[in-house]
Amino acid sequence: MSIKLVVLTENRPHERRVALVPQVASKLSALGLDIWIQQDAGLASRIPNQAYLDASATPPLQIAASLPELLQNAHIVLAVQPPAAETLKLLAPGTIVLCFVYAQREPELVKLLRDLQLTCFAMELVPRISRAQAMDALSSQAALAGYYGALLGSTQLARILPMMTTAVGSIRPAKCLVMGLGVAGLQALATARRLGAVTEGYDVRPDTKEQAESLGAKFVDTGVDGRGEGGYARELTAEEQQKIQAVLTKHIQQADLIITTAAIPGRPSPKLISKAQVDGMKNGAVIVDLAADGGGNCEYSVPGETVQIGQVTIAAPFNVPSLLAEHASELYAKNLLNLIGLFIKDAAINLDWDDEILAKTVLTHQGEIKNAAAKTLVEG
Ligand code: NAD
């Protein structure tokens, strides 16, 4: 019996991505999968149903409008956002679901996944190890978000980024400060520099200094080491925050464009720019807050909106990768393909829990919450 893999249509607000694109479908089918696509799954990414039907796959992809038909005998279900409860309830125990979950935001959903005995791999849990890089959807999506942040900022500014020499004199290049130098921040620095800005970068992890400098940016050194576990940042003490603010204020207030990307796993976004600092910024300056999904990095940010505070514009869009749905879907689909490749051998599902990547990415399996942090959160 072949393995049936189903791709769902996303139904959450602000979500335009799809978990599989036609060019990746042929590689998935080569693993021995029979692929079914929910009708219109690709439309928000500008992929019509016919493009899936035309994908070179054996057997050819099938499209279904009815959920019961689509999900009947499904072995693997792919989505970007967590599927709706009604959808999950149609799945047989043991079905494998791959999507982003973020258990801290979705405790009821985690309980449902547990109680329905679904095997859920939560894409945000893929470990940050070399072997898992091709499965790391957080990174693939963050890189696109960082790129977009620089472009969005440049279009919100009433000035240009590069130096320009004209008959009536020279225009000085814009100053761009990127705060938070993870995957998104480094891509934002690289993009702003390519557009001609003079760039500066800041992060609480001192090892980002070298990375920022390799992209032609100056590093703002605050003397505080905020390294936490697993290569991530930790929450800072009030004293550390004061020390940082004393150094940063000057850089914030000299910038034309600031892009913020700071995040701490499982916590609200740290506030890096205070109201008072915004009040002292240059007329016409722009802040692009890429941490809106976690509440934002600027005290004035209104997640999901662009606001004007005095002469400063603050844009805090939700779900930025979704705005680049074509490429975001393609990269996400490749991340899924590589993860699925870990547990399909000779056209059969074989979940090897000795594989570190599978063991760390699994959220629920056989009626249990397998991720320790999610288990504590949901079960106490
Ligand atoms: P993230 O989205 O969790 O956070 C973005 C950045 O914000 C981080 O660089 C973090 O240090 C910074 N930050 C947090 N609090 C801050 C504060 N108060 N002030 C300033 N900056 C603050 O980060 P990410 O992009 O997911 O990357 C996290 C880590 O994982 C990095 O060390 C990255 O290099 C590493 N990583 C490793 C791999 C791999 O080895 N396969 C892949 C991707 C990322």
The DSSP code sequence of 284-310 is T-EEEETTGGGT-SBTT--TT-EEEET
Q: Check residue 33 and give its pLDDT.
A: 96
Give residue ranges with CB within 6 A of ligand 1.
Answer: 128-130, 133, 136, 138-139, 142, 179-185, 203-205, 231-233, 236, 261-265, 270, 272
Q: Is the whole model's pTM more than 0.85, yes or no?
A: yes
CA of residue 30 to ligand 1 center, whole Å: 35
Q: Check residue 1 and give its pLDDT.
A: 67
Q: Check residue 333 and give its pLDDT.
A: 98
Q: Check residue 209 and give its pLDDT.
A: 96
Mean pLDDT of 50-73: 96
CA of residue 46 to ligand 1 center, whole Å: 31
Banded pLDDT at 267 (limits 50, 70, 90)? confident
* Residues 184 and 145 sit within 8 Å (Cβ to Cβ): yes
**Can you tell me the distance from the alpha carbon of 99 to that of 349, in angstroms, rounded to the nearest whole number?**
18
Lowest-pLDDT range of 36-40, 189-193, 231-235, 369-373: 231-235
Q: Which of 102, 128, 236 to mutate to test the pocket of ligand 1 (most atoms within 8 A of CB)?
A: 128
User: Per the omega criterion (within 30 degrees of 0), is the bond before 59 cis?
Assistant: yes
* Residues 48 and 18 sit within 8 Å (Cβ to Cβ): no
Does 52 participate in catalysis according to the annotation? no
CA of residue 236 to ligand 1 center, whole Å: 15
Mean pLDDT of 247-266: 93
Mean pLDDT of 318-332: 97
Q: Dihedral sign, CA of 223, 214, 143, 139?
A: negative
Mean pLDDT of 242-263: 94
Say yes or no to pLDDT of 264 above 90. no
Report residue 200: phi and psi, to 5°. Answer: -135, 145
Q: Check residue 234 and give its pLDDT.
A: 87
CA-closest residue to ligand 1 atom 39: 128
B/e letters for 87-121, b = 16+ CB within 10 Å, e = fewer, are bbebbeeebbbbbbbbbeebeebbebbbebbbbbb
CA distances from 348 to 4, 144, 230 (A): 11, 34, 33
CA-closest residue to ligand 1 atom 18: 270
Q: Check residue 316 and give its pLDDT.
A: 98
Say yes or no to pLDDT of 266 above 80. no
Q: Check residue 68 and give its pLDDT.
A: 96
Q: Check residue 230 and give its pLDDT.
A: 77
pLDDT digits (tens, 9 = 90+) for 204-231: 999 999 999 999 999 999 988 998 887 7
**Can you tell me the distance from the alpha carbon of 46 to that of 319, in angstroms, rounded to the nearest whole number?**
17
Mean pLDDT of 335-347: 96
Does 136 participate in catalysis according to the annotation? yes
Helix, strand, coil: what percent of the chain each, to 5?
40, 20, 40
- Give me 332's structure tokens: 């996400």
